Structure 1
Amino acid sequence: MTATITPQAVPSLAPPGGRGRGRDRSAAERPSAFGTAVLLLGAVYCLLPVLWVITASTKDGSELFSTFTFAPSTHLWDNIVALTQYRDGLFWRWMLNTALYAGVGALVSSYISALSGYVLAKFEFPGKGKVFAILLMGVLVPGVILAIPQYFLLAQIGLTNTYWSVLLPQLISPYGIYLARIYAAAAVPTDVVEAARTEGAGEMRIFTRIALPMMAPGLVTIFLFQFVAIWNNFMLPYIMLGNDQLFPITVGLSGLLNQGATVPALYTLVITGALLSIVPLVILFLLLQRFWRVDLAAGAVKA
């Protein structure tokens, strides 16, 4: 004899009002109108200056101050040609200098940050806590404050007004080391490191062959942060350099802007140069965004 259970005999397992709470939860997950409005205002605030640079760079000197701000014109290519011809292509020399400072500086800084962060995360040594505390204090110190002391230190060894005077102070990034330490602690399993040591691998081999690939997604973030910071840096090269052949794009365009007070035609060159200066950053982000992962375990390799 088998018993049958009718649908009416099965008690509901859902708590009273469960469906209502489900609807409330769905409603809570939807973005509010106020939050959406705030995000849109933030986007407009960030994109409006970029839109102005794009439209202003299409105007000639007579249109720059006489036409509607966001009305585009047709002189973009003429402005690029004039900028290229200025002092035999000095602008592109500034661009190459900036690419050198940012590219080499960010690459070496990322490697130093990875190595330092890995050591702080996976090694135990006396004073480790104090070292990390000093590192955190370094994160809080603005780089502008250190520019003048760094100038005096480099002047003692004759490195001011050289490429080294801009590169060397930016190779160590406390914030980059801090991020690398956090990422290494989460992304590099201690068991994998211990197994490699048991197999007889040296510490540098473990770092380069095992830890570094595991940290790669985090290092992309560190590289981008450092690249953008060096690319946009103004105060350090402004203090260190006196030869305009060594200027990065920030200092070079600042000098052009100051000359614009007496030669208004240079204003269009400054605006066009500002537009061209952001193009490499956009390209770099588009190329590297596929490596920018959120998962801390991403990038792990087999031992």
Structure 2
Amino acid sequence: MSTETILRPKVSRRQQESPHQMGSKRDGGFASKFTVNGLLVLGCAYMVIPVVWLLFASTKNTADLYGTSAFAFGDFALFDNIANVARQDGGVFFRWMANSIIYAGFGAVLGGLIAVMAGYAFDKFNFRWKESFFGVVLVGVLVPNTATVLPMYLLASEVGLTNTMWAVLIPVLCNPFGVYLARVYSAGYIPAETLEAARVDGAGPVRSFFSIGLPMMVPGFVTIGLFQFVGVWNNFMLPLVMLQNQQLLPVSVGISIWQGHTVQLPDYAPLVITGSFLSIIPLLIAFIMLQRFWKSGLTAGSVK
């Protein structure tokens, strides 16, 4: 008696699943995508809507500002408002803008370079108590800037630096979060074999950093610099405490002074809004010009 072997086609695991199970997976995938995209839309709206409102409000005079819809253009008084901002208090607004560019640019370039050098040293060099020192840096990340303003003011007053630009420039050179990021970028961008080859060729630690390490860390340096630029540009408490001379104030503190006048003088409101709109333009320019470095810096270490 012969036996016949019946060959049955193999059924994949996906085909074995019931339509109900497949439908539930599709529903779960749709629900997760809907949730993620919904959160992204809310986050974008949270960041974009105030800027859009600022654009609409900048085109209004005092009467339109309080008498029209929030997201409606006024009588296109934008250029008149800019002219009023330029004339107010002898054109001090553009002096404030120049001060902010100096403070933020100095902190972004020199402060970012110091952070990159420190992060490179923590990553590539071995020295005593290295991890303990890096732990101190991480503690500095956790300390809010407002908590250090009063101690820094007392130190600056001891050496006579209050009410000078150095009272703002020197503190912005310290960026613990930038040091932490620089160590991550150094580990992701600079292979140890490259530095070892440089040492064999006779390059010392300083030359290896500036000839090999720093060029390879340019995306990370730009990312840290942008973080530092935005942080210093928006810094409020430090210059408010350190500076009394109106000619040395950054734009963040200067606009707050104008805002304090709006209670008794409503005509200051268009000046405050137009000045705020003008103050974000340098930030937009910096991000647009350096966005390719910014994107590559944010993805550092994602692919190994």
| Residue 43 (structure 2) aligns with | 42
Alpha-carbon distance between aligned partners in 2 of 1:96 and 1:88, rounded to the nearest angstrom: 15
> What is the CA distance between 1:172 and its match in structure 2?
1.0
Alignment of 1:58 onto 2:55? no
> What is the CA distance between 1:87 and its match in structure 2?
1.7
| Residue 6 (structure 1) aligns with | none
Distance 1:77 1:210, change over 3 A: same
Distance 1:148 1:191, change over 3 A: same
Whether the aligned pair in 1 keeps the contact of 2:185 and 2:301 (CA below 8 Å) is no
Distance 1:113 1:29, change over 3 A: farther
Whether the aligned pair in 2 keeps the contact of 1:214 and 1:297 (CA below 8 Å) is no
Alpha-carbon distance between aligned partners in 2 of 1:19 and 1:223, rounded to the nearest angstrom: 55
Alpha-carbon distance between aligned partners in 2 of 1:131 and 1:198, rounded to the nearest angstrom: 29
Alignment of 1:282 onto 2:280? no
Per-residue Cα deviation, 1:185-243 (whole angstroms, up to 9, x for no partner) = 22111111111111111111100010011111111110110000000000000000000
Q: How does 1:223-302 map to 2 (within 5 A)?
A: 223-292=225-294, 293=296, 294-296=298-300
Alpha-carbon distance between aligned partners in 1 of 2:95 and 2:8, rounded to the nearest angstrom: 80
Alpha-carbon distance between aligned partners in 2 of 1:218 and 1:105, rounded to the nearest angstrom: 16
| Residue 199 (structure 1) aligns with | 201
Alpha-carbon distance between aligned partners in 1 of 2:38 and 2:145, rounded to the nearest angstrom: 35
Alpha-carbon distance between aligned partners in 1 of 2:22 and 2:193, rounded to the nearest angstrom: 42
- 1:17 partner letter: R
| Residue 3 (structure 1) aligns with | none
Q: How does 1:123-202 map to 2 (within 5 A)?
A: 123-202=125-204
- Secondary structure at 2:170 match in 1: helix
Per-residue Cα deviation, 1:12-44 (whole angstroms, up to 9, x for no partner) = 5x7332697999888766653233223222222
Among 110, 120, 144, the residue aligned to 1:108 = 110
Per-residue Cα deviation, 1:235-263 (whole angstroms, up to 9, x for no partner) = 00000000000000000000001112221
Alpha-carbon distance between aligned partners in 2 of 1:77 and 1:19, rounded to the nearest angstrom: 69
Distance 1:187 1:41, change over 3 A: same
Distance 1:297 1:36, change over 3 A: closer
Runs (5+) with no aligned partner, structure 1: 1-8, 299-303
Whether the aligned pair in 2 keeps the contact of 1:220 and 1:291 (CA below 8 Å) is yes
Distance 1:84 1:124, change over 3 A: same
- Secondary structure at 1:70 match in 2: coil
The worse-fitting range, judged by mean Cα deviation, of 28-37 and 275-284 is 28-37
> What is the CA distance between 1:65 and its match in structure 2?
0.8
- Percent identity reads 43
The worse-fitting range, judged by mean Cα deviation, of 18-27 and 256-265 is 18-27
Whether the aligned pair in 2 keeps the contact of 1:59 and 1:75 (CA below 8 Å) is yes
Alignment of 1:15 onto 2:17? no
- 1:48 partner letter: I
Per-residue Cα deviation, 1:95-121 (whole angstroms, up to 9, x for no partner) = 000000000111111100111001100
| Residue 208 (structure 1) aligns with | 210
The worse-fitting range, judged by mean Cα deviation, of 270-279 and 178-187 is 178-187
> What is the CA distance between 1:45 and its match in structure 2?
2.1
- Secondary structure at 1:17 match in 2: helix
| Residue 3 (structure 2) aligns with | none
Alpha-carbon distance between aligned partners in 2 of 1:88 and 1:56, rounded to the nearest angstrom: 24
- Secondary structure at 1:65 match in 2: helix
Q: CA RMSD in A?
A: 2.2
Alpha-carbon distance between aligned partners in 2 of 1:295 and 1:107, rounded to the nearest angstrom: 21
The worse-fitting range, judged by mean Cα deviation, of 282-291 and 45-54 is 45-54
The worse-fitting range, judged by mean Cα deviation, of 39-48 and 77-86 is 39-48
- 1:162 partner letter: T
Q: How many residues align?
A: 290
